[in-house]
């Protein structure tokens, strides 16, 4: 049995579509290293349990226990360094020599020298925990530091 040109084209178009569909089913987004791409972290809110907070922020940096009017509470302290800004600046040029593998001649070129400058800050968070749940929380920014990495390109 022979298919007409129109039926043949329709058949191959449907076959191509089905194959493409199967290729993309089950695909997931990955990062450049081939691992699963992480979702943005959730935000800690009032009413969350200790386990939920630890899943988002990890273990606290320190814990203070307080008692007031017969109520025992904990203050969980977190400190996290983050990059406020990052720039790449030029520090001028330098000469670099190499042997050209085709001609065998020594070649000297001028290259830019770059440095990466980062302004880092510290985010400080305190969570008031009573009966294993977040009752109140506050965040503040701590010290700012400057980090300059000199690299050559």
Per-residue pLDDT of the chain (153 residues; tens, 9 = 90+): 454 445 556 555 555 555 444 444 444 445 555 555 555 457 889 999 999 999 988 999 999 999 988 999 999 999 888 888 888 888 889 999 999 999 999 999 999 888 888 888 888 889 999 999 999 999 887 666 666 665 544
pLDDT at 43: 84
Q: Are strands 133-152 and 62-68 parallel, antiparallel or unpaired?
A: unpaired
Question: For residues 137 and 43, what is the distance between their CA atoms, to the nearest angstrom?
Answer: 11
- Whole-prediction pTM: 0.49
Cβ neighbours of residue 78 closer than 8 Å, sequence gap 6 or more = 57, 60, 61, 123, 124, 125, 126, 127
pLDDT at 75: 95
pLDDT at 89: 84
pLDDT at 9: 60
Residue 143: which of 121, 127, 124 has the closest Cα?
A: 121
Question: For residues 62 and 46, what is the distance between their CA atoms, to the nearest angstrom?
Answer: 20
Question: For residues 8 and 2, what is the distance between their CA atoms, to the nearest angstrom?
Answer: 9
pLDDT at 95: 92
pLDDT at 27: 46
pLDDT at 116: 86
Question: For residues 99 and 11, what is the distance between their CA atoms, to the nearest angstrom?
Answer: 59
pLDDT at 128: 95
List the end-to-end C-alpha distance of the chain, in Å, as a whole number: 66
Question: For residues 75 and 95, what is the distance between their CA atoms, to the nearest angstrom?
Answer: 57
Question: For residues 68 and 1, what is the distance between their CA atoms, to the nearest angstrom?
Answer: 90
pLDDT at 65: 94
Question: For residues 104 and 114, what is the distance between their CA atoms, to the nearest angstrom?
Answer: 29
Domain extents for the chain? 43-152
pLDDT at 40: 46
């Amino acid at each position: 049995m022979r298919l007409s040109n129109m039926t043949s084209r329709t058949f191959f178009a449907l076959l191509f579509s089905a194959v493409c569909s199967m290729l993309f089913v089950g695909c997931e987004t990955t990062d450049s290293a081939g691992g699963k791409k992480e979702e943005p972290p959730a935000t800690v809110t009032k009413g969350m349990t200790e386990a939920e907070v630890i899943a988002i922020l990890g273990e606290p940096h320190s814990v203070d226990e307080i008692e007031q009017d017969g109520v025992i509470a904990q203050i969980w302290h977190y400190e996290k360094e983050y990059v406020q800004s990052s720039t790449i600046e030029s520090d001028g040029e330098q000469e670099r020599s190499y042997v050209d593998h085709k001609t065998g001649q020594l070649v000297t070129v001028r290259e830019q020298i770059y440095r990466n400058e980062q302004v880092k800050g510290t985010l400080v968070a305190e969570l008031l925990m009573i009966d294993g749940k977040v009752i109140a929380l506050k965040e503040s920014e701590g010290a700012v530091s400057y980090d300059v990495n000199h690299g050559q390109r």
